[in-house]
């Protein structure tokens, strides 16, 4: 007793009267924002924001000052951000499971629809006055919710956000913790009002799964699990299982068998990805309504939904399918999923026999996996690329297009000149690579490089001389910050570019121009569907064909706006001016574009189409006084799988030059291009 009094006295600056420990079984600790750890005890009151962690086979119940109860399961970690005036409670579930009971009579704060918001890496969960269970697995990044009373809103974070948070963790065992996140509440509340949010009614489950565009539609769960969870209000767990060397666990099944299931993993939602890391190329690949069968069981450890198989029978009274005994059952005391005897459900690999599961975050083990790939050639290549990406943290983008163009011309820093009025076939090849040299919560250092190659028909000398190779090396430094409660970035971009071109009609390329550019860009996420980039760039260039040199200044913006499930609007503008020291001329371009993206116009096919307008001005009318340029284009992308897309394109361009030209070169032209090829995103 004396020790407890000393402990409470020592913790008095930290513990106050807002969140109280009302039940504790086993061990639990509180970690202050400064990193100090304190053992929690019954009736201790937590005053400040902090991290709460429970041990193995431990249970912890917290009571908030408004009567809200949170029962935290074993081996769980949760950040508590105390209530801010006029805002709902916010907690961040880092891993594990929690059962919450919120008073249905309590009214939300003004301007908010939810009484409590639970944040995970992959989702925002809005509580309306509800009894619910939330599971977040930090290996597969799945967030699942079961509603036992009332309603819960679930909004899946984009895979870009999930991937970004993963890349920030150089040491996967030390997730950065953010305390006092009240500035993000407005943004999360806005997400929960988004059209992609799912409202989960009583007796239903929904989950936020990486590679899915949004949370799945609510699904009714197995009656046995629903009844057991309603009884298990304290989130009691059973440590036993059905392994041969451990105590036998009680299992409640439907006493229904269908015989051998050839592919039991086909019943798992989502399908196991076989990798601990979310691949950047898998962003939002599943976009259609899922058609998942009702009547399955949610695994409270992995967050995976075990769906009744295709051959399962359906109960005409309830509309639910019946989960067969071959896929396991439910612990009648806890509501936990119990897999078949001798089998365990792994968060990454799905159904596995009770053997050691290989880890996937070690370079040596990844290299060993490269030597033991199985499956078809295509499957081996895909898996090898996944492992290579995990080891190197390398990003690659490339496309190879074979096109036909009706008018070959040169693009000199945005100025269209040397117009041939001749058609040609064109190989258009581009590659980009970059890797994350350093990445944490605040900073990203990103070296990069690219090549771009255009190759026309070699049989026409005046066409061949416009063949061009362009190479770039550079580095980006990203400073991460928050705007309107949302992630933003200030980006400093330094790049050195060289261009080779057969300009003097020789058989070999002549060194043509080089430039050094410095770009400052602010990348803002104004809301969930509204992303804005504003930038300024200066480039110092020098030409080796002649002593031409000078500076190029670019100032512009790009704005992407989602218009719903299907459409996106993309528009932007740029003002560019180039000072040439050789002829003391200034060349200005005022440009704007407006594009629409139609997602899933066909299965796995997106279409982008739009219009571009430019006004060109020359201070000294050497070739023209001013010109008007416009382009319409359409681009199709068809997804071939994990890394590859087929692209088809068509472009129509026209330019009208005005003013008395002092030379014979005409700046007016009409040009059409169409073709296609492959796009790679890695």
What is the phi/psi pair of residue 482, to 5°?
-125, 135
β pairing state of 510-527 and 530-543: antiparallel
User: At which of 196, 231, 266 does a domain end?
Assistant: 231
User: At which of 231, 261, 291 does a domain end?
Assistant: 231
Structure token digits, residue 583: 């002829």
Q: What is the pLDDT of residue 682?
A: 75
Q: What is the pLDDT of residue 369?
A: 58
Output the CA–CA distances (angstroms, integers) from residue 551 to 19, 475, 510, 557, 620, in the order listed.
61, 20, 22, 20, 17
User: How many other CB atoms sit within 10 Å of the CB of residue 506?
Assistant: 9
14-23, 371-380, 407-416, 550-559: least confident range: 371-380
Confidence of residue 574 (pLDDT cuts 50, 70, 90): very high
Mean pLDDT of the 239-252 span? 56
Mean pLDDT of the 4-19 span? 44
Determine the 3-state secondary structure of 169 from DSSP: coil
Q: What is the pLDDT of residue 171?
A: 45
pLDDT for 453-463, tens place per residue?
Answer: 999 987 777 78
| Inside any domain, residue 269 | no
Confidence of residue 605 (pLDDT cuts 50, 70, 90): very high
Mean pLDDT of the 609-635 span? 92
Determine the 3-state secondary structure of 473 from DSSP: strand
Strand partners for 30: 38, 52
Q: What is the pLDDT of residue 603?
A: 83
Q: How many domains does the chain have?
A: 2
Residue 658: partners with Cβ closer than 8 Å, 6 or more residues away: 624, 625, 626, 627, 628
Mean pLDDT of the 212-218 span? 90
Greater confidence (512 vs 361) lies with: 512
Q: What is the pLDDT of residue 30?
A: 92
pLDDT reading at 163 higher than 90 = no
Domain of residue 168, residue span: 2-231
Cβ-contact 577, 589 below 8 angstroms: yes
Confidence of residue 357 (pLDDT cuts 50, 70, 90): very low
Residue with tokens 């290579």: 388
Output the CA–CA distances (angstroms, integers) from residue 442 to 19, 174, 237, 489, in the order listed.
30, 15, 38, 9
Q: What is the pLDDT of residue 176?
A: 56
Greater confidence (113 vs 493) lies with: 493
| Inside any domain, residue 320 | no
| Inside any domain, residue 652 | yes
Greater confidence (156 vs 168) lies with: 156
Mean pLDDT of the 53-58 span? 91
| Inside any domain, residue 468 | yes
pLDDT reading at 77 higher than 60 = yes
pLDDT for 458-507, tens place per residue?
Answer: 777 778 888 888 999 999 999 998 887 788 999 999 999 998 876 555 55
CA–CA dist 140, 349 (Å, integer): 10
Domain CATH for 198: 2.60.120.1440
Cβ-contact 229, 252 below 8 angstroms: no
| Inside any domain, residue 359 | no
Length of the chain: 682
Mean pLDDT of the 171-183 span? 59
Angle at 106 between CA 102 and CA 108, to 5 degrees: 100
Q: Name the region of 382 (left: φ>0; alpha: ψ -120 to 50; beta: rest).
A: alpha
pLDDT reading at 181 higher than 80 = no
Q: What is the pLDDT of residue 164?
A: 79
Mean pLDDT of the 317-331 span? 91
Greater confidence (281 vs 445) lies with: 445
Mean pLDDT of the 27-42 span? 89
Q: What is the pLDDT of residue 377?
A: 63
User: How many other CB atoms sit within 10 Å of the CB of residue 574?
Assistant: 18
Cβ-contact 314, 296 below 8 angstroms: no
| Inside any domain, residue 155 | yes
Output the CA–CA distances (angstroms, integers) from residue 57 to 95, 460, 534, in the order listed.
15, 78, 51
Q: How far apart are the first and last CA of the chain?
A: 60
pLDDT reading at 625 higher than 90 = no
Please give the model's pTM, rounded to 2 decimal places.
0.74
Confidence of residue 173 (pLDDT cuts 50, 70, 90): very low
Domain CATH for 451: 2.40.160.40
| Inside any domain, residue 113 | yes
CA–CA dist 512, 500 (Å, integer): 5
Q: What is the pLDDT of residue 383?
A: 66
pLDDT reading at 361 higher than 50 = no
pLDDT for 132-145, tens place per residue?
Answer: 999 999 989 999 99
User: At which of 187, 216, 231 does a domain end?
Assistant: 231
What is the phi/psi pair of residue 342, to 5°?
80, 10
Confidence of residue 545 (pLDDT cuts 50, 70, 90): low
Mean pLDDT of the 370-399 span? 69
| Inside any domain, residue 379 | no
pLDDT for 525-537, tens place per residue?
Answer: 887 788 999 999 9
Angle at 261 between CA 256 and CA 262, to 5 degrees: 175
Mean pLDDT of the 212-221 span? 91
Give me the percent of the chain exceeding a pLDDT of 90.
47
| Mean pLDDT of all residues belonging to the chain | 84
Greater confidence (17 vs 631) lies with: 631
Confidence of residue 5 (pLDDT cuts 50, 70, 90): very low
Mean pLDDT of the 38-46 span? 90
pLDDT reading at 4 higher than 70 = no
CA–CA dist 642, 279 (Å, integer): 9
């Amino acid at each position: 007793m004396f020790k407890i009094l000393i402990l409470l006295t020592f913790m008095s600056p930290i513990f106050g009267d807002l969140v109280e420990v009302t039940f504790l079984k086993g061990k639990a600790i509180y970690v202050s924002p400064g990193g100090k750890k304190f053992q929690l005890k019954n009736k201790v009151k937590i005053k400040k924001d902090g991290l709460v962690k429970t041990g193995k086979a431990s249970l912890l119940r917290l009571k908030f000052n408004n009567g809200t109860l949170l029962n935290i399961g074993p081996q769980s970690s949760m950040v508590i951000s105390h209530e801010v005036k006029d805002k709902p409670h916010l907690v961040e579930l880092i891993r594990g499971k929690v059962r919450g009971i919120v008073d249905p009579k309590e009214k939300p704060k003004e301007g908010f629809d939810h009484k409590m918001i639970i944040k995970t890496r992959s989702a925002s969960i809005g509580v309306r006055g509800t009894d619910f269970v939330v599971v977040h697995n930090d290996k597969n990044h799945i967030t699942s919710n079961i509603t036992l009373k009332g309603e819960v809103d679930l909004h899946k974070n984009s895979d870009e956000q999930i991937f970004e948070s993963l890349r920030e963790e150089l040491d996967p065992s030390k997730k950065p913790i953010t305390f006092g996140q009240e500035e993000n509440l407005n943004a999360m509340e806005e997400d929960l009002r988004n059209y992609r949010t799912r409202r989960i009614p009583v007796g239903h489950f929904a989950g936020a799964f990486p590679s899915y565009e949004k949370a799945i539609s609510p699904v009714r769960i197995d009656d046995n699990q629903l009844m057991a969870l309603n009884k298990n209000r304290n989130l009691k767990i059973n440590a036993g299982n059905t392994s041969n060397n451990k105590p036998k666990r009680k299992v409640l099944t439907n006493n229904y068998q269908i015989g051998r299931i050839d592919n039991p993993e086909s019943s798992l939602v989502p399908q196991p990805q076989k990798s601990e890391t979310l691949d950047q190329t898998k962003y939002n690949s599943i976009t259609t309504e899922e058609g998942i069968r009702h009547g399955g069981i949610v695994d409270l450890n992995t967050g995976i939904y075990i769906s009744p198989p295709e051959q399962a029978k359906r109960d005409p009274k309830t509309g639910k399918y019946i989960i067969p005994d071959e896929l396991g059952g439910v612990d009648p005391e806890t509501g936990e999923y119990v897999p078949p005897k001798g089998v365990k459900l792994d968060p990454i690999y799905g159904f596995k026999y009770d053997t050691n599961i290989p880890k996937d975050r070690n370079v040596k083990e990844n290299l060993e996996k490269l030597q033991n790939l199985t499956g078809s050639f295509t499957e081996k290549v895909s898996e090898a690329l996944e492992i290579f990406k995990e080891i190197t943290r390398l990003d690659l983008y490339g496309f190879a297009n074979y096109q036909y163009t009706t008018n070959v011309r040169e693009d000199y820093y945005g100025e269209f000149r040397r117009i041939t009025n001749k058609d040609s076939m064109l190989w258009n090849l581009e590659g980009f690579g970059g890797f994350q040299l350093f990445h944490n919560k605040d900073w990203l250092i990103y070296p990069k490089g690219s090549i771009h190659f255009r190759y026309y028909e070699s049989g026409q000398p005046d066409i061949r001389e416009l063949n061009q190779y362009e190479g770039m090396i550079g580095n980006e430094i990203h400073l991460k910050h928050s705007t309107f409660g949302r992630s933003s970035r200030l980006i400093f971009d330094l790049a050195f570019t060289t261009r080779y071109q057969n300009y003097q009609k020789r058989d070999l390329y002549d060194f043509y121009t080089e430039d050094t550019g410095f770009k400052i860009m602010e990348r803002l996420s104004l809301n969930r569907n509204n992303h804005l980039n504003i930038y300024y760039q200066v480039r110092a260039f020098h030409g080796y064909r002649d002593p031409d040199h000078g500076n190029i200044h670019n100032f512009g913006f790009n704005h992407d706006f989602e218009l719903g499930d299907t459409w996106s609007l993309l528009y932007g503008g740029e003002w560019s001016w180039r000072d040439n020291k050789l002829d003391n001329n200034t060349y200005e371009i005022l440009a704007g574009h407006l594009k629409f993206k139609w997602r899933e116009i066909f299965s796995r096919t997106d279409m982008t189409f739009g219009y571009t307008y430019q006004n060109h001005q020359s201070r000294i009318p050497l070739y023209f006084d001013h010109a008007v340029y416009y382009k319409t284009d359409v681009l199709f992308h068809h997804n071939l799988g994990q890394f590859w897309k087929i692209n088809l394109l068509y472009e129509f361009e026209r330019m009208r030059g005005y003013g008395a030209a002092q030379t014979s070169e005409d700046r007016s032209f009409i040009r059409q291009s169409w073709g296609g090829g492959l796009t790679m995103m890695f």
